Structure 1
Amino acid sequence: MFVLIFSSVAIGALLLLILPMFSGNKWSPKGRHCYITGGSSGLGLSLAILLTKNGADVSIVARDEQKLRSALDEMEKVRQSPDQKLLSYSYSLNEAEAASAALEADCAAHDGRCPDAIFLCAGTSTPGFFVEETEASLRKGMEMTYWVQAWTALAAAKRMARDRVPGRIVFVSSLLGYMSIVGYASYSPGKHALRGLAETLRSEMILYNVKVQIFFPGTIYSPGYEQENKSKPKITLKIEETDEGMQPEKVAEGLLRGVQKGDFHISADLLGNIFRSSTKGATPGNNVVLDAICSLLGGVALPIWRRGVDASVVAHRSEHETYLAERGFFGKK
């Protein structure tokens, strides 16, 4: 996500060579019933197209009906079989009742069959300074990062347990679910919370033969990213100015690859693997060699990166004080 002096081409190439030696694709989407929230744009849409190309029955859920129609048109272009079911549903997923209704509608369209895989891609970010947040904005931040996925996960877990479906639930967190920086007070907490939920459910859902996974992507060059940049503080933009993000299509490929390998914590690039390995605690690892190398790199370089970030924040103090003064912040109570 941010420039790190240790991410050299040589190390990246070495990891790419090592990883395939210890892993193989075990899960195939072909013929599976896949359900994607936030499937009308960005990562969700790219994943829907990728799963369609791989022969899955794909259902997407989002609020905007026009975007859903456009997304469904894109999916139809890559249909592999006339028997594939490609469906869309318009629901507001940040409410428990609506999230449950959306899932039940999709089950009904599949003769009552619960999805084999639930991909929770819904979520938005509205960056800003914590001192300018309100109760309403902070609650909305959790609603649009944590609850928008948690409610569907709850409905899916209940349905899978009742139907005895050996499926999977895949959360989408963020690199900001491993750490955070200035500007993400309304976003990062929800992404951290998703990790806590996924950690819990990974253990609990073993009771029902349901696999739980969670994805931690870095910057995705999507419509959502363009929107969040409109409110993003200057200091946050400064810290991220050398950020090398990824296109949604590549991120979707990384997500599917991790799902196929059975990784619990899924990372799509070297930087994600460094943060993952350096903060994993008791989380199951992905690859002994990869994890060891990334953990070593993180132990050396992450403190250097953090000091650089802190120095940038300190250098911004004067400009930030002017920014707050112009908005009358110091006269408020």
Structure 2
Amino acid sequence: MVLWLLEALAIIAIISALAWFIILILSDADVSLILKAKFGKQPESLAGKVVWVTGASSGIGEAIAYCLAESGCKLVLTARRKEQLEKVKQTCLASALCKVKDNDILILPLDLTDFESHAQKVQEVLEYFNKVDILINNAGKSQRALWMDVELSVDRLIYEVNALGPVSLTQALLPHMIERKEGQIAVVSSLAGKVGVAGMRSYNAAKHALQGYFDSLRTEVSVNNIDVTIVCPGPVFTQALFNAATAKMGKEVGKHMDVSERRMTAKRCAYLTCVSVANRQYESWVSPHPPLLLIYIVLMFPDLSKWFMKKLGAKAIMAFREGK
């Protein structure tokens, strides 16, 4: 009887492992998120929530704004470029699928590196909507440069934009959520926050720091019914490469992404991000293959993956990173 039970359990384990692997190979996100997208809560479940999205003027943040507007969320849209935010708002309202009105979308220009302004910006939002249910820290700046060429001033800029900015804004907003005993902080990190990639030292470091900051926060605020969700996208079609920093302060890459590259659309990334938020996931990976498969290998076999990346070399890894 015991032998039969063990054999049955072994067969179930093998079938489960095969099913998990098949889902992974056919998907563009981690298995848990794909299952949530299929059987869990959809972004529409967030209807009526006040959601603050940083970096909402373009790229993933812009696409998140469209997804949430179609889901019936009240929005705070933040970025440095007010005119671009206004365009995003009008696009939201012009959509036949939009479920919110003009006064349900607040445009709030903000420079994330202006830390002293964050408390005032939080106050402006609370005066307008009386609450914030979800903060999506999406704003960020990418970088492309060899390790030895990077000026420390670039490290500081990328760290302030990608790590300290979200930390500062979150810290300014958290007392409100703690007082309400309710809320959610979402962070758009990157697969670069899970593994070091050649040619983007400042960005890698900042995203690794971002992971540490918000993994730490999750544990501390759980007693206040506040969840922390970290979403790690891989290659996505945006303007991030055009605006990416280089080794020298003030100089940007200025290149557009090639349509032939293996990247996810910003719309798909935004949808999966919103699914992750709706289901209050702890962490989600959103990427096409092979980066998605690679991240599993990196985390399951760290020594083997580091040896493999050394053998591939920096040029191959950088091309891989760009979806080539």
Gaps of 5+ in 2: 1-20, 249-254, 318-324
Task: State which of 229, 246, 251 in structure 1 corresponds to 2:269.
Answer: 251
**Matches of 2:221 and 2:33, distance apart in 1:** 33
For the Cα contact (< 8 Å) 2:198–2:314, is it kept in 1? no
Aligned to 1:53: 70
**Matches of 1:300 and 1:182, distance apart in 2:** 17
Aligned residues: 283
**Matches of 1:144 and 1:138, distance apart in 2:** 10
Query: Structure 2 length as normaliser, TM-score?
Result: 0.76
Q: Which amino acid aligns with 1:13?
A: L
Aligned to 1:99: 118
Q: Which moved more, 1:113-122 or 1:17-26?
A: 17-26
* Percent identity (aligned): 21
| 1:203 to partner: Cα distance | 0.3
Aligned to 2:106: 87
Map 1:1-333 onto structure 2 (within 5 A).
12-13=25-26, 19=35, 24-25=40-41, 28-78=45-95, 79-82=98-101, 85-110=104-129, 113-161=130-178, 163-228=179-244, 244-269=262-287, 271=289, 274=293, 277=296, 295=300, 302=305, 305-310=308-313, 312=315
For the Cα contact (< 8 Å) 2:75–2:106, is it kept in 1? yes
**Matches of 1:115 and 1:301, distance apart in 2:** 44
| 1:308 to partner: Cα distance | 4.6
CA 1:145–1:182: 2 relative to 1, 3 Å: same
RMSD (Å), alpha carbons: 3.5
CA 1:49–1:21: 2 relative to 1, 3 Å: closer
CA 1:159–1:267: 2 relative to 1, 3 Å: same
**Matches of 2:54 and 2:33, distance apart in 1:** 33
For the Cα contact (< 8 Å) 1:178–1:275, is it kept in 2? no
**Matches of 1:109 and 1:224, distance apart in 2:** 31
Deviations 1:197-222 (A, max 9, x none): 11111100112110011110011211
| 1:278 to partner: Cα distance | 5.2
CA 1:17–1:131: 2 relative to 1, 3 Å: closer
Gaps of 5+ in 1: 1-7, 281-294, 315-333
For the Cα contact (< 8 Å) 2:142–2:203, is it kept in 1? yes
| 1:133 to partner: Cα distance | 1.9
Deviations 1:104-144 (A, max 9, x none): 2111111xx22100000111023212222223121112112
SS of the equivalent of 2:78 reads: strand
Q: Which amino acid aligns with 2:155?
A: L
| 1:31 to partner: Cα distance | 0.6
